[in-house]
Amino acid sequence: MIGAAHTILGRSASLRDRPYFIVLAGSNLGKTFKIDGDTILGRSSDAQIRLQDEGISRRHARVFVEEKDLWIEDLKSANGTLINGVRIDRQKLQDGDKIRVGATTILKFSYSDDLENSFQQKMYDAALHDGLTRAFNKRHFLDRLGEEAAYAKRHGTPLSLMMLDVDHFKAINDRFGHPAGDQVLAELAQIIAGQLRREDLFARYGGEEFAVLCLGVTLGPVSILADRVRGVVEGTAFALGESRAPVTISIGVAAYTPGADDGATRLVADADAALYEAKRAGRNRVVVRSAKA
């Protein structure tokens, strides 16, 4: 593992400086990643730096320490690793290097202190997350949905979507007030997030509606996940005014249509249609809609 940068990496820097990657372009724009020892970059769920852009391999590149310096090597990725515009097999990293992986992701290698990194991370979080629920916001969700649909189309991998909506949410606001409604949404988001995998993308789609994009999973397992989430929510007593009471959700589930030109748009439309069908059927239930080619 890497300790303080001045003791492990041979360079003249502040005692507080540590090595980071900062995302200059790509779906993780603005995010910072601290480099702690041997680090894998890629799409895989077990990569220490997980990047989702098109053209990034599951295990794309590796950062490692050699004789007190940080090096990066390409792991025979499909599209290669470039440093400052030049394709490399392995190369020592220098402060300010720009590393390109995949079609759009550019990382800047930099040394900075923890205070500077914390500020950068807060800026990133504010841009991509909903302030109330801490789920990703709709803009980020739609950006990622387009990228993941393109990846699924290119590689033939499964992609599924859950759309969730709080039942009778207007009645909650009318009876207990909007602060209580906000508390329900915040608590609900925590419950849902606790049921998901690391690679699932959870977002607040708007109002009391949420979306969960499940990467690499077919309709069957996602349907099981959806019903588990519904059951956990139903079994939770939410804070409503001076008391606690159950809240229920309805869920629509759909799968990406392989080869469809409008795959991302159709996926949302199908999941939304399933959600409204669940509402019409009495709420507090999951409806699965198979996309038509």
d(CA 83, CA 101): 9
**109, β-bridge pairs:** 21
Respond yes or no: is residue 67 known to be catalytic.
Answer: no
Which residues fall within 8 angstroms of residue 212, CB to CB, at 6 or more apart?
A: 161, 162, 164, 192, 196, 200, 201, 202, 203
Beta bridge partners of 73: 62, 90
Task: Collect all residues with Cβ–Cβ distance below 8 Å to 279 and sequence separation of at least 6.
Answer: 165, 167, 250
Burial level of 75, CB count in 10 A (0-12/13-18/19+)?
middle
245 sits in which H/E element: strand 243-246
Dig out the tokens for 148 from the structure.
């993941």
Total number of residues shown for the chain = 293
- Residue 85 C-alpha from the chain's centroid: 28
Is 269 in contact with 256 (CB distance < 8 Å)?
A: no
The single residue of 54, 147, 148, 208 carrying the catalytic annotation is 208
Q: 292, 239, 238, 242: which is closest to 266 by C-alpha? A: 292
DSSP 176: H
In three-state secondary structure terms, 18 is strand
**Residue 10 burial class via C-beta count within 10 angstroms: exposed 0-12, middle 13-18, buried 19 and up:** exposed
Which residues face 211 on adjacent strands?
163, 203
> Mind telling me the catalytic residues?
208
